[in-house]
Copies of this chain bind each other. A is one copy, B any other.
Amino acid sequence: MIGRPRGFDADEALHAAMLVFWRQGYEGASLADLTGAMGITKTSMYAAFGNKEQLFRKALARYDEGPASYALRAVEKPTAREVATAFLTGSVHTTTQPGGPAGCLGVQGSLAAGDAGEPAREILAEWRTNGRQLLETRFRRAVDEGDLPPGTDARRLALFVMTVAFGIAVQAASGVSRTDLQEIADTALHHWPV
């Protein structure tokens, strides 16, 4: 690499930005908030990440690799029941981790927004749909493998689990405790598969 080397760790800066978006949402996170937490100036941020929207995209990707990685691990479980259990337990843990922002970046990052927040809203709506697709595909496989009863509606099952996960995220953002949320998750899957 030629030229002056950057004086900060881009990975750490991105992590800090992710936390700010997570805690304050896309519209609620100003460039001053972001760069302040990242420990860099606006100029450095624009040079390294493009603009606010692209920074958000990268922060979301980082969220997938870190806090939301429980989703990919969940669908690797051997049975549909274990998949659903791991998925909801993972969402409970991530949305209530001590010291971190309460709730889920994919939900509270941008749910309703004005014109300025429209890009983030669309990005996250797609993110949520992808999550459902992930579960639906996995449950369809479970039906094919005989793990779930023939005729089981994989899409409906996936929608249900995702809905509970999103509800958990909202509750976590409202301050509901990890213990309560785990009870909710257990309740939702008590009569699995339904």
At the interface, yes or no: A2 with Cβ under 8 Å from chain B? no
- Ordered nearest first, which 4 A-B pairs have the shortest CB separation? A167-B167, A28-B114, A163-B167, A108-B112
For the complex formed by this chain, how many copies does it contain in all? 2
Q: Are B168 and A163 in contact (CB under 8 A)?
A: yes
Question: Secondary structure at chain A's binding surface: helix, strand, loop or mixed?
Answer: helix
Q: Which of A2-40 contact B (CB under 8 A)?
A: 22-25, 27-30, 33
What residues on B are CB-neighbors of A53 within 8 Å? none
What residues on B are CB-neighbors of A190 within 8 Å? 191, 194
Q: Are B103 and A111 in contact (CB under 8 A)?
A: yes
Among the 9-residue stretches A59-67, A76-84, A143-151, A174-182, the one with 4 or more Cβ atoms under 8 Å from chain B is A174-182
Take A27-B28, A112-B25 as given contacts and tell me if A163 and B171 are in contact as well, using a CB distance cutoff of 8 Å.
yes
CB<8 Å pairs between A and B, sample of 22:
A23-B112, A25-B114, A25-B117, A27-B27, A28-B112, A101-B112, A107-B170, A109-B112, A111-B170, A111-B173, A128-B171, A128-B174, A129-B175, A159-B176, A159-B184, A160-B187, A163-B164, A163-B184, A167-B167, A170-B170, A187-B194, A190-B191
At the interface, yes or no: A116 with Cβ under 8 Å from chain B? yes
The residue that A166 contacts in the complex, of B27, B167, B187, with Cβ under 8 A, is B167
What residues on B are CB-neighbors of A111 within 8 Å? 25, 103, 107-108, 111, 170, 173
Residues in A lying within 8 Å of B, measured CB to CB? 22-25, 27-30, 33, 101, 103, 107-109, 111-114, 116-117, 125, 128-129, 156, 159-160, 162-171, 173-176, 180, 183-184, 187-188, 190-191, 194
